[in-house]
Amino acid sequence: MSQPVLSSGSSTRPNTGRFPLVRTKPFVEESPWDVYRRIAMSHRPSVLLESGKPPSGQARYSFVAADPYLIFSGNPGRYTLETARGTTQRRGDPLSALFSTLGPCLVPRSPALPPFIGGAIGYVSYDAVRHYEILPSLARRDLPLPDLEFLFFDLVVAIDHRTQLLHMMFTPAPERLLAESHEALQREGNARMDELDSRLSAPYTNPSGSPIVASMMEGTHSEREYVERVQQCQAFIGAGDIYQANLAQRFSVAFNAEENQSLHTVSSNLYHRLRVVNPSPFAGLFVTGNLALVSSSPERLVQATGNRVTARPIAGTRPRGRTTGEDHVLMDNLRLDAKERAEHLMLVDLARNDLGRVCEYGSVHVEEFMTIEQYSHVAHLVSEVEGTLKPACSTLDLIRSVFPGGTITGAPKIRCMEIIEELEPVRRGPYTGSLGYVSWTGDVDFNILIRTMVLTQQRAYLQVGAGIVADSDPRREYQETLYKAQALFEALQ
């Protein structure tokens, strides 16, 4: 029988001490992906947020959930709610509506539990910034995807990599906690966790090892065109418009899908390859009926636990060496490179400014500065900025203040986004947006969608960028984008 995690309740919060219902057992699978493929159903949306390679203890938990009870999607000025009872379309700001749909925080956070006990998991595309900032419309929007899409779950699996424990958690939505019998909800939760437990014990088949690519890779830029765009960025820098900008290019390819093979199957197999090639602390797989996001992101946009908020900007890249000696030389070169350090400092200051708008005066500080994190194909300079959220500011205020991340726009942020719209031929879509969760405890955690593929029914799209400053070597910046794409290319093969 599941054990409730007890809470005291208060005069403003109904007694929800029965919830969440929690069952805990040893984590015996090889990876969170093994849990995902046991419980995800090919005909229903599902999600995996995986801490594939936790550097310095940054990423402790992985989360798996399938079969949402509500799907929320939004575009400028309108949003859609899809449940088993039907689909409702409404007018309004989608991001505000998302938090309204989540409802009040009736279940207090518990240090004994993972931070996500249920709520919404989804993505916010880079272009969602247009919902609250005025930007020009020059680039082509060729992917008909929502600007944001979230799946609502009341049953979730959490894997604690520190304790090697697996938690199944059932937390009814706030409206159900307020309106329905808690005894009936407890019976429902136990029955659903019984069924989930049986799926976790079921056998599964290994994924296909056949190549996924079915055509030649197509890019939005030739090397010459990308170099010209870099030079245009540098002209804006020289004119004093900006200090630094992130310039991206996109590749796309048609992929194989065997007969009766769903988008879920293709994206799941692709994610498995990518997590082996490039394990990352903020990886994820997000699958709906017509979209899959396959991500091995190394970067956190923002995390909020209670009133403590953290941003973890990445800026500065080197390829990994072919030998240990070459690797050491490249890491020393990255650590001492004046151009990389100046760019990184600029973006740390931008993160401090973004947090400073919503954090208590004097609370924002740099907890970690210019450490090197190594991944399979590249290494990065990383810092961590922390602050204390003002009592008058909400989690929604926090997300609006930091989104999109400054490391993938440049500084100053708004002018850089205007220039990106001018120089990049297609809209970014989910790329450089964010994937993450909003928990019913009020906690949030979002990555930045880099090292990420967007899959539709016929094609895979991947984008990579480089930070441009006044003394950038345009051809070297082009090569940096290819280094960053290498793990994605390998996974497709």
Residues carrying an active site annotation:
380, 407, 431, 451, 467
Q: How many C-beta neighbours within 10 Å does residue 69 have?
A: 14
Distance between CA atoms of 468 and 241, rounded to whole angstroms?
Answer: 13
- List Cα–Cα distances, 372 to 187, 317, 367, 386, in angstroms: 49, 9, 14, 19
- List Cα–Cα distances, 472 to 17, 408, 451, 460, in angstroms: 57, 16, 22, 30
Residue 234, token pair as written in the block? 């540098």
Residue 314, token pair as written in the block? 């990445």
Distance between CA atoms of 360 and 365, rounded to whole angstroms?
Answer: 11
- List Cα–Cα distances, 180 to 174, 175, 185, 188, 193, in angstroms: 10, 8, 7, 12, 19
Contacts of 225 (CB under 8 A, 6+ apart): none
Phi, psi of 322 (to 5 degrees): -80, -20
**Positive or negative torsion for Cα 190, 195, 201, 206:** negative
Residue 172, token pair as written in the block? 């009814």
Residue 191's Cα: distance from chain center in Å?
Answer: 31
Distance between CA atoms of 95 and 76, rounded to whole angstroms?
Answer: 10
Residues 131 and 95 sit within 8 Å (Cβ to Cβ):
yes
